[in-house]
Amino acid sequence: MPPHRHGLHVYAHGVLKYSPFPFIFLNKTTPKPKMAELKASIAADAKLEMWSYALGFTPMALVKCAIDLQIADVIDSHGGSMTLPALSAALACSPPVLRRIMRYLVHRRIFSHTASSYSQTPLSHLLMRGAADSMAAVVLLESTPTMLAPWQRLSLRARQADGSPFEDEHGRDIWSFANANPEHSKLIDDAMSCIAIASADAVADQYPEAFDGISSLVDVGGGDGTALRILVKAFPWIQGISFDLPHVASAAPPCDGVKHVAGDMFQAVPNADAAFLMSVLHDWNDEECIAILRKCKEAIKEKVMIVEAVIGEEEEEEEEEEDKYSDVRLALDMVMLAHTSGKERTLKEWEFVVKEAGFSRFTVKHIKAIPAVIEAYP
Ligand code: SAH
């Protein structure tokens, strides 16, 4: 019942209180139990926090809007700082509307605002389309109606042992959908390439010894070849084979030291010293993963390198930095639930699929990145 209909508002202990009984004043001097105050403050905090979930789409929508308008690119090309009139003119936007959008983005520290000018921040740099470490393509993919619609079916998915909300929504799995929709396929390839740059750089920098003695490497589900491009540059003795479905391999840009081969990893994988699988196995359920790994095992001499997240066991305590990675890993697990038949795996779950695929042993190298490097030996 809203407070203004009945009762009185009285202040006790500096907190606005509502009395449901008209004309009865609360005794201001009655000491309030500390526990009740604490409970009230926790409840108020919880309510405030729940707003961020109720309106949780807002940051995604605003970041997408900033990318669509190319706000960061325009500020950057004007020397890194612009006033509202200059920015509105350059973007052909209504100044009062753009001011509100920028106020939100400044509040989220995506841009900064000093001396009447908007400036770039480390976050806004990541929204520039041309920046080397841009994450714009990931935002653009995840915010499409195609990728957002399956999330409405998550509760239905929870009542089934398997399945994929993406498939229920669009009538086919994400890869067949991409095959039939070249624009969406390009969005996927660009987004994966964004993510691949960060992960492949981290692997090459932090675990170079993994590539010693490897003269040929097949990247299974290699996308547009971004990871191999980085790896053959870092380890020039490696001959790269980027292996992916025909619609992906045929659209991939040429690259020295990397051959693009089209095929189906459930049928056969090209031969090489080692196979590399990054952000691939998490798209598939255990049975499918085991089938892919068996095909990789048939194709290689040395080892299979799996670059994927390892989810911490629930009882494990985590340091603050590790916890930030865990946030992303657990969110990615929900993405897998919405969009694929796969999942992010714990160490035990990795052990299961690797052993079931017939590998005799495996090692895990943790690096400062979202994925770790799991190496499986025949
Ligand atoms: N490894 C890349 C791409 C990961 S996305 C990266 O890290 O950026 C998963 C990739 O698996 C997509 O490029 C998709 O086209 C590919 N893929 C899906 N099914 C496949 C199949 N049956 N055979 C080969 N590649 C497949």
Q: How far apart are CA 367 and CA 376, in angstroms?
A: 17
Whether the per-residue pLDDT at 7 is higher than 90: the answer is no
First-residue to last-residue Cα distance in the chain? 68
CB of 370 within 6 A of ligand 1: the answer is no
Q: How far apart are CA 245 and CA 268, in angstroms?
A: 12
Whether the per-residue pLDDT at 14 is higher than 70: the answer is no
Whether the per-residue pLDDT at 2 is higher than 50: the answer is no
The tens digit of pLDDT for each residue in 347-374 reads 999 999 999 999 999 999 999 999 999 9
If you measure from the C-alpha of residue 81 to the centroid of ligand 1, how many angstroms do you get, rounded to a whole number? 40
Q: Residue 132's pLDDT is what?
A: 84
The tens digit of pLDDT for each residue in 198-232 reads 999 999 999 999 999 999 999 999 999 999 999 99
If you measure from the C-alpha of residue 197 to the centroid of ligand 1, how many angstroms do you get, rounded to a whole number? 15
To the question of pTM greater than 0.85 for the whole model, the response is yes
**CATH number, span 58-133:** 1.10.10.10
The domains spanning 58-133 and 140-377 adopt the same CATH topology: no
* CATH 3.40.50.150, applies to 140-377: yes
Atom of ligand 1 nearest to the CA of 223: 13
Q: By alpha-carbon position, which residue is closest to atom 26 of ligand 1?
A: 221
DSSP symbols for 275-339? EEEES-GGGS-HHHHHHHHHHHHHHEEEEEEEEE-EEPPTT----HHHHHHHHHHHHHHHHHHHH
Q: Per-domain residue ranges for the chain?
A: 8-54, 58-133, 140-377
